[in-house]
Amino acid sequence: MTRIAALRATTRRRIAGAAAAVRAARPRTTRGVVRASLKAGALVVALAIALFVVGSAAAAFYDQYGFHPERNAHTWAALEPSYVDGAICQTCHAGEGAQLETSRHQTVSCEACHGPLGEHAADPVSAMIPIEAPPDTLCATCHSSSSGKPVGFPQVDVATHYRSGVCRACHDAHSTAVVRPPEVSHPLENLPACTTCHKPEGLKALPAGHEEAADPVCLGCHGAGADGLHGGER
Amino acid sequence: MNGTGPSVSRRGLLKGGLLALPALAGSRMLSALVSSPDDAVAAAAAPGTTAAYDPALHDWAFVCHADRCIGCGLCVEACKLENHVPLDPEFNRTWVERHTVTEDGEVLVDSPHGGIDGFPPESTAEGAEGARTKEAYFVPRLCMQCDNPPCVSVCPVSATYKSEDGVVLIDADRCIGCGYCVVGCPYGARYIVPSGEETPIGTAGVADKCTFCYHRITRSQQPACVEVCPVGAREFGDRKDPASPINVALRDDRVRVLKPEQGTEPRVFYTGLEGEVG
Amino acid sequence: MSVHVSAHDLAAVPRAALWAVRLEVISQPRQLKLWLAFLSALCVFGAVGALLSLPPGWEVLGTTPSFEWGILITAYVFFAITTSGLCLASSLGTVFGIERFLPLEKRHAILAVLCLVTAFGIIALDLHFPVRMVFGAVLSPSPASPMWWMGVFYGVYLVFLLTEVASMFSGHWQIHRIACVLSSITAVFAPLTLGAVFAVLAAHPFWHGALTPPYMIFSAFLSGTALLGIVFYCVHRFRLADFERTETVALPALRFLLIIGLVASIVLVAMRVVTGLQSTIPALADATVALIAGPLALQFWIFRVALGLVVPMALLLAPRTRTPIGIFAASCLAFVGIFADRALFVHAGQIVPTTAAAGTVSVPYAEYTPTLVELSIVVGAFAFVALAYTLAERFLDMSPHLGHQARGQVEVTAWVPAPTEGVL
């Protein structure tokens, strides 16, 4: 107990001593007061400046490295799209647009087959993409028959389909109209092979895209009542 | 002069006033200089973006119609071209799976290269050869943009977050590439960008995933996969817009989500599915 | 020839340091030289692998989007929980003042620091942006993320461990005691957070669940005890500081702890397998089947069960092998078994892909093979710990501080060869 009491007494004595020292050092002249006030004021100003510098540095640091998700969302939103809205193509390509409007491909956007057209749409002249018609293998991507496709969807077994791989000889991609090849205009009995006359230097040259083939192949399209036109269709 | 009483002398008042003024001035300067988030956001909005786009006004949702999907893979290709996704089939922001249900009730899944080149006539899944198929259908897959995303909660540096309009995005400058979000996603929608590749806003080594084509939807466009789908198997819209057809689909098409037992509350809904989808 | 080379001398004057090194190498016994050379070669091998894995060579890692956590994560988890295990096993000595563990006093702290530093090094190589992690964890913390907590706890743990080691060698025993207590407390919580990293992932049912964090703690205990068993046998065999009590006191105590650890591990492995097989969650059942009868079966039954649990248990229980070398063998095997357990845990959790076919995921099991770079980093990590500890054993005073009454009196330097056998 005495130890605590002694400690208390010591502390009290020390505080009283410090207070007396402060009182003794108190300025007694006006000049002294002004000087003391200036010193205190300078100290406070220095402290405020230090806080200001540290605070703004911290704020700037957090501004740059802190957690600001809305800013990052803006960064994502600022990227440039490569694909455009399909409707914009019709402003120049009105013909194809009109064809598509009533065709079975009306739900297919231009870019589905022609790829991203953002650059071309932004500057059609200098960014003139020689829009090659996509290869016919693209038709097979959607229209080749495979397990999993909805039943009502038009699909064919490409390998056995008529004139396999040369889709656009008969099908128009935009209007989806099917052009059937002409039936043979002359009788077929007692004739040599078709390619005897129908060859590059023959009586009637084969049209572009036709290869020389055996008779059944020719007759498959051009024969009367040829039913192999859309073989494999469901 | 004796200074014992609490009376305030003229000297004390002068001293107090002299001390108070700098303190007030300093604190005012500090508060003015701490930049407010709104100013920073307006400053950071790049030219050409819809600075007028307010995420709080939108609530994006997605519907996948498995009964319409034909497995053409045009969506996969469009996504890779639009978003600079590595062409390596291992990395996909979106992909298509074919589910083949056999007579025994087993569901076999195959997805050759994510479906980017379409699908072969028969299933290539293990055990599918010779199995008798009861039915088969295609399932488009992408990030579910969950409302309770496991990827957001496990990121140690808060690099991935959910925006106000419901899209889960990744801050590529903050991501440390630990892969926790990749293993945390129950749908396998995320990947770490491989070396040699770059995302549009970051480098290799950060996480990446489908963003609902955030740069398109903030310009009132559709995501690239929705844009090119030839049969309308992917639908996208704003739930806060009463005129949007997405609300009709959500209301009428008996939609469901994948892996509801995970509790992730996805924003991508599915119709036309049969059985469990893993 | 006896030369006292202390850490202070080495740092002081470069020329004197060169002389000291030359003298040191000359004075080393051949066994030690070979051992150090072997470890140095492995460290170089690991360093080369580490350099190759730095950007932009990340394709050297075998991880894929469906298998993102590979052998580097395994090694990190292994070293991190071994650190905790060392403290758990030896806190009995320092905190509770049990005399029989005093030879551990300095050794476990040094080992723990080395293991933790190695763990941080491995994870720094696995993370693509380790510096960002330090800033990001402070500026944009995510208290919902167990990995954030793990970073915090292990960072704090490193600070406490370094304080413990520094105060141990500088003689500030008050600080040392406080640091010991703090690091012992952290040693319990840190592996819990590491377990939580795996346990919260509902996407991987093999990892998911409340059992995983305690599983990590028990595993840590066994791992730390096994490592201490290895070290203690070396103390006994090479007559290192304070070796007199190892055979009679410390090793039997360690044997007891090892048995407890092995029993706990056997129970946990059995529980994990049984609950996994009976689960109706397909991913969990598939993963457990893969573990015991699928691609992981060989690793599991041979390395984890037989070599890691059954043989050590037999060695420890059989009366004929209750010798120091028997305990050493059991410790080594248990150590290998723990590493196999870590690898199997990380692998089995990801072996059933979350999506059946995201791109080109192999079904039904995702495949992962560690690349040579990854393996070299892991081998180099082990070699580094062994090399650094051997050097520490050689140059630092490892004898225990015998409390306040013996301060300043214990000055046995570790490397003085015993008169009877010329060893270290």
Contact criterion met (CB < 8 Å) for A107 and B232:
yes
Q: Tell whether the model's pLDDT for residue C400 goes beyond 70.
A: no
Burial B89-98 (b: 16+ CB within 10 A, else e): bbbbbbbbbb
- Mapping DSSP onto H, E and C, the string for B143-211 reads CCCCCCCHHHHHCCCCCEEECCCCCEEECCCCCCCCCHHHHHCCCCCCEECCCCCCECCECCCCEECCC
CB B264 within 8 A of CB B146: yes
Distance CA A131, CA A125 (A): 13
Interface of A with B in 36-65 (CB under 8 A): 37, 40-41, 44-45, 47-49, 51-52, 55-56, 59, 63
Instruction: pLDDT band for A190, please (50, 70, 90 cuts).
Output: confident
Q: Tell whether the model's pLDDT for residue B130 goes beyond 60.
A: yes
Calculate what percentage of chain B has a pLDDT beyond 70: 80
Q: Is C18 exposed, middle or buried (0-12, 13-18, 19+ CB in 10 A)?
A: exposed
Residue C394 belongs to domain with CATH number:
1.20.1630.10
> What number is the average pLDDT over the span C159-165?
92
Q: What is the pLDDT of residue C423?
A: 40
Q: Which two tokens stand for residue C51?
A: 């350099």
Contact criterion met (CB < 8 Å) for A44 and B232:
no
Taking contacts as CB-CB distances below 8 angstroms, the residues of chain A near C131 are: none
Instruction: pLDDT band for C278, please (50, 70, 90 cuts).
Output: very high
Distance CA A12, CA C340 (A): 67
**Dihedral angle sign, alpha carbons of residues B200, B206, B210, B214:** negative
Distance CA B96, CA C274 (A): 36
Distance CA C401, CA A207 (A): 102
Q: What is the pLDDT of residue C324?
A: 85
Instruction: pLDDT band for C402, please (50, 70, 90 cuts).
Output: low
Contact criterion met (CB < 8 Å) for C136 and B153:
no
Distance CA B163, CA B145 (A): 10
More confident residue, B125 or C159: C159
Q: Is residue C38 part of a domain?
A: no
Residue C139 touches chain A, beta carbons under 8 Å: yes
Q: Tell whether the model's pLDDT for residue C21 goes beyond 50.
A: yes
Q: Tell whether the model's pLDDT for residue A48 goes beyond 90.
A: yes
Q: Tell whether the model's pLDDT for residue C322 goes beyond 70.
A: yes
Q: Is residue C15 part of a domain?
A: no
Instruction: pLDDT band for C377, please (50, 70, 90 cuts).
Output: very high
> What number is the average pLDDT over the span B147-173?
94
The tens digit of pLDDT for each residue in A83-116 reads 988 778 888 888 888 888 888 898 899 888 888 8
φ/ψ of C83, rounded to 5, equals -55, -50
Distance CA B97, CA B110 (A): 6
Most confident of A24-38, C86-100, C269-283: C269-283
Q: Which range (A50-54, C290-294, C417-421) has the least confidence?
A: C417-421
Residue C134 touches chain B, beta carbons under 8 Å: no
Q: What is the DSSP string of C196-215?
A: HHHHT-TT-TTT-STTHHHH
Domains and CATH numbers, chain B: 37-91+136-271 (3.30.70.20)
Q: What is the DSSP string of C60-115?
A: GS--BTTB---HHHHHHHHHHHHHHHHHHHHHHHHTT--GGGTTHHHHHHHHHHHH
Determine the residue among B178, B193, B195 to mutate to test chain C binding: the one whose Cβ has the most chain C Cβ atoms within 10 Å.
B178
Q: What is the pLDDT of residue C415?
A: 42
> What number is the average pLDDT over the span C40-64?
84
Q: Tell whether the model's pLDDT for residue C403 goes beyond 60.
A: no
Q: Tell whether the model's pLDDT for residue A50 goes beyond 90.
A: yes
Q: Which range (B37-46, B168-177, C117-126) has the least confidence?
A: B37-46
Distance CA B8, CA B143 (A): 70
Q: Number of folded domains in chain C?
A: 1
Q: Is residue C411 part of a domain?
A: no
Q: What is the pLDDT of residue C359?
A: 44
Give the strand pairing for B107-110 and B160-162.
Answer: unpaired
Residue C129 touches chain A, beta carbons under 8 Å: no
Most confident of B121-130, B161-170, C220-229: B161-170
Instruction: pLDDT band for B32, please (50, 70, 90 cuts).
Output: very low
| Min distance A62 CA to chain C CA atoms (Å) | 7
Q: Tell whether the model's pLDDT for residue A144 goes beyond 50.
A: yes
Q: Is residue C386 part of a domain?
A: yes
Contact criterion met (CB < 8 Å) for A66 and C140:
yes
Contact criterion met (CB < 8 Å) for B92 and C359:
yes
The tens digit of pLDDT for each residue in B51-82 reads 688 899 999 999 999 999 999 999 999 999 99
Q: Of B143, B134, B264, B141, nearest to B209 (Cα)? A: B143
Q: Tell whether the model's pLDDT for residue A172 goes beyond 70.
A: yes
Residue A62 touches chain C, beta carbons under 8 Å: yes
Q: What is the pLDDT of residue C312?
A: 95
Q: What is the pLDDT of residue C410?
A: 39
Q: What is the pLDDT of residue A125?
A: 79
Q: Which range (B98-112, B168-182, C340-354) has the least confidence?
A: B98-112
Q: Tell whether the model's pLDDT for residue C203 goes beyond 90.
A: yes
Q: What is the pLDDT of residue B93?
A: 93
Calculate what percentage of chain A has a pLDDT beyond 90: 18
Question: What are the respective helix, strand and coil percentages of chain C, to the nearest 5?
Answer: 75, 0, 25
Contacts of residue C215, Cβ cutoff 8 Å, sequence gap at least 6: C195, C268, C272
**Dihedral angle sign, alpha carbons of residues A43, A48, A53, A54:** positive
Q: Which among A40, A48, A81 is the nearest to B25, CB-wise?
A: A48
Q: Which two tokens stand for residue B90?
A: 């291992």
Q: Which two tokens stand for residue B42?
A: 């307006």
- Mapping DSSP onto H, E and C, the string for C357-375 reads CCCCCCCCCCCCCCCHHHH
Q: What is the pLDDT of residue A114?
A: 84
Instruction: pLDDT band for A218, please (50, 70, 90 cuts).
Output: confident
Distance CA C272, CA C300 (A): 13
| Min distance C136 CA to chain A CA atoms (Å) | 8
Q: What is the pLDDT of residue B13?
A: 62
Contacts of residue A200, Cβ cutoff 8 Å, sequence gap at least 6: A206
Instruction: For chain B, give the mean pLDDT.
Output: 83
Q: Which among B114, B158, B185 is the nearest to C359, CB-wise?
A: B114
Q: Tell whether the model's pLDDT for residue C53 goes beyond 90.
A: no
Calculate what percentage of chain A has a pLDDT beyond 70: 84
> What number is the average pLDDT over the span B90-105?
89
**Dihedral angle sign, alpha carbons of residues A152, A154, A156, A158:** negative
Q: Tell whether the model's pLDDT for residue C393 goes beyond 50.
A: yes
Q: Tell whether the model's pLDDT for residue B213 goes beyond 50.
A: yes
Residue C186, domain extent:
49-398
Q: Is residue C318 part of a domain?
A: yes
Q: Which among B15, B138, B228 is the nearest to A148, CB-wise?
A: B138
B112, β-bridge pairs: none
Q: Is residue C209 part of a domain?
A: yes
Q: What is the pLDDT of residue C71?
A: 95
Nearest CA in chain C to B173: C132
Distances in Å between the Cα of A202 and the Cα atoms of A33, A185, A197, A206, A212 are 123, 17, 5, 9, 12
CB C308 within 8 A of CB C235: no
CB B166 within 8 A of CB A73: no
**Cis peptide preceding C146, ω within 30 of 0:** no
The tens digit of pLDDT for each residue in A118-130 reads 888 888 777 666 5
Q: Tell whether the model's pLDDT for residue C10 goes beyond 70.
A: no
Instruction: pLDDT band for C129, please (50, 70, 90 cuts).
Output: confident
Q: Tell whether the model's pLDDT for residue C46 goes beyond 60.
A: yes
- Tokens 């046998």 appear where? C233
- Tokens 């990854």 appear where? C374
The total number of residues written for chain B in this structure: 278
Q: Tell whether the model's pLDDT for residue B6 goes beyond 70.
A: no
Q: Is residue C380 part of a domain?
A: yes
**Dihedral angle sign, alpha carbons of residues C89, C91, C94, C99:** negative
Q: Is residue C131 part of a domain?
A: yes
Q: Tell whether the model's pLDDT for residue B152 goes beyond 50.
A: yes
Contact criterion met (CB < 8 Å) for A141 and B72:
yes
Distance CA A153, CA C399 (A): 83
Contacts of residue B40, Cβ cutoff 8 Å, sequence gap at least 6: A63, A68, A71
The tens digit of pLDDT for each residue in B34-52 reads 333 444 444 444 444 456 8
Q: What is the pLDDT of residue C100?
A: 60
Q: Of C276, C269, C156, nearest to C215 (Cα)? A: C269
Q: What is the pLDDT of residue B36?
A: 39
More confident residue, B26 or B138: B138
Contact criterion met (CB < 8 Å) for A59 and B117:
no
Q: Tell whether the model's pLDDT for residue A234 goes beyond 50.
A: no
Q: Tell whether the model's pLDDT for residue C270 goes beyond 70.
A: yes
CB C116 within 8 A of CB C79: yes
Helices B10-33/A30-65 angle, 10° precision: 20
Distance CA B24, CA B9 (A): 22
Q: What is the pLDDT of residue C406?
A: 37
Q: Tell whether the model's pLDDT for residue C96 goes beyond 60.
A: no
Contact criterion met (CB < 8 Å) for A83 and B55:
no
Q: Which range (B107-116, B260-269, C248-257) has the least confidence?
A: C248-257
